[in-house]
Structure 1
Amino acid sequence: MNFFIKILPLHVMKKYFLVYILIGLTLLSCGSDDDSLQKVDQKLQIFMKDSAGNDLVNPVKVGSYSGIIWNDELASSDIANVNFTRSMLSDSTFYMEYLAGATREFVSESSDGSKIYRSEIQVSLTKKLSATQFAPVDIDTLQIFYRMTPSVFEVSQVYFNKSLKFTKIPDQPNVVTIIK
């Protein structure tokens, strides 16, 4: 600090004092301890097929669900849409991709210190019966369980209508296939 006092007049130092403090704190907080980084693995790819293996997520195909709405069941309000993306593979198979957005509720903590959280999402599906006709809305429930440790936050299990559809395999993508 004496170095700056000799170079800069006192009124300039007072003017930039907070800037110097912020720069100093920033430099102190820029540690490069890779052990303290937590891996986040919460991206879900959800495929929905019928018993014959036909894609049910194609928005324009007759027999598929053209209307899909996700609602956060643990949110503080009744209507809390959850964002997801309808994406397509190179073979024209559609899937729903979910990253985050639904409320996470604490479930439990194990003796090893890992914590379990869950999200519950109401999935409203509208099936396209013809070019102009649609079936009544079908309402299902998607539960996503997460495991958190100091080193990882990841999807651990996925249930659809209370039936287990996915269990995490380390270092593998989170791909869920639902037969409806």
Structure 2
Amino acid sequence: MKKLFPLLMLFGLTLLSCGSDEDSLQKIDQIFNLYIQDSSGKTMLNPTKVGSFTGVSFNDELADKDIANVNFSRKMLEDSTYYIEYIAGATRKFVNDEPDGSKIYRSLIEVSLRKKISDTQNDPVVIDSMEIFYRSSPSVFEVSRVLYNNQLVFTKVQDQPNTATITK
């Protein structure tokens, strides 16, 4: 029993030290959803439909290499609206410190869009840019604003999804 007691004490202390302080956890809010529609409000991201951008790619403009693909997912809502979900993957560069102590980072992504104009033909590739700014503090890391072709399309609103709609 004397040999077992120190082992039980060590085990108990180990369990107690594994407890977490939830206040010390940083909330991560970096998922960004991009919708592209035409002037009538129809989705332009259907991967098979004539008149839609069937070819989409992201390239990291701040990467060390010229060609640095960035992952994203093309998703569909129940009403057949397609959108792009970007989570992470592009290089983030430090921009500045804010007066509240948070730090601002930015990613710059080249968005290439290929529009299908018939069953056998595509328009030339359209090259757009998307600049994502992040705010980082001890309590949160979040998308704070997004520029698409140098136009502000998203500004963070607490407890709301990070979503922007582009009309082409």
TM-score by length of 2: 0.90
- Residues 86 and 25 of structure 1, relative CA distance in 2, 3 Å threshold: farther
Structure 1 counterpart of 2:39, one-letter code: S
- Structure 1 residue aligned with 2:76, among 77, 88, 108? 88
* Pair 36,128 (structure 1): closer, same or farther in 2 beyond 3 Å: same
Aligned to 1:100: 88
Q: Which runs of 5+ in 1 are unaligned?
A: 8-22
Do structure 1's residue 136 and structure 2's residue 151 form an aligned pair?
Answer: no
The count of corresponding residues between Structure 1 and Structure 2 is 165
**C-alpha distance after superposition, 1:100-122 (max 9, x if no partner):** 11110100101211110011000
**Which residues in structure 2 correspond to 1:57-136 (within 5 Å)?**
57-136=45-124
Among residues 152, 167, 172, which one is paired with 2:155 in the alignment?
Answer: 167
The structure with the largest helix share of the pair is 1
Which residue of structure 2 aligns with residue 157 of structure 1?
145
Query: Compared with structure 1, are the counterparts of its residues 29 and 100 closer, same or farther at alpha carbon in structure 2 (3 Å cutoff)?
Result: farther
1:134-165 deviation digits (Å, cap 9, x = unpaired): 00010000011001111110000011000000
**What is the CA–CA distance in structure 2 between the aligned matches of 1:38 and 1:160, rounded to whole Å?**
28
Q: Deviations over 1:49-81 (max 9, x none)?
A: 111212111111111100001000011111110
Match of 1:42 among 30, 43, 46: 30
Paired position in structure 2 for 1:17: none
Give the % identical residues.
61
CA RMSD of aligned residues (A): 2.2
1:177 and 2:165 correspond: yes
Point out where structure 2 has 5 or more consecutive residues left out of the alignment.
Answer: none
Normalised by the size of structure 1, how large is the TM-score? 0.85
- 2: CA distance between counterparts of 1:24 and 1:72? 48
CA distance in 1: counterparts of 2:28 and 2:92, whole angstroms: 15
The whole-number CA distance in structure 2 between the counterparts of 1:29 and 1:80 is: 42
**Is the alpha carbon distance of 1:29 and 1:130 closer, same or farther for their aligned partners in structure 2, counting shifts above 3 Å?**
farther
Which has the larger displacement, 23-32 or 93-102? 23-32
CA apart distance, 1:28:
7.4
Partner of 1:12: none
Give the equivalent residue in structure 2 for 1:19.
none
Instruction: Mark the CA change 1:111 to 1:68 in structure 2 (over 3 Å): closer, same or farther.
Output: same
Q: C-alpha offsets along residues 2-42 of structure 1, whole Å, 9 cap, x if unaligned?
A: 947x99xxxxxxxxxxxxxxx89975762310110000001
Secondary structure of 2:159's partner?
coil
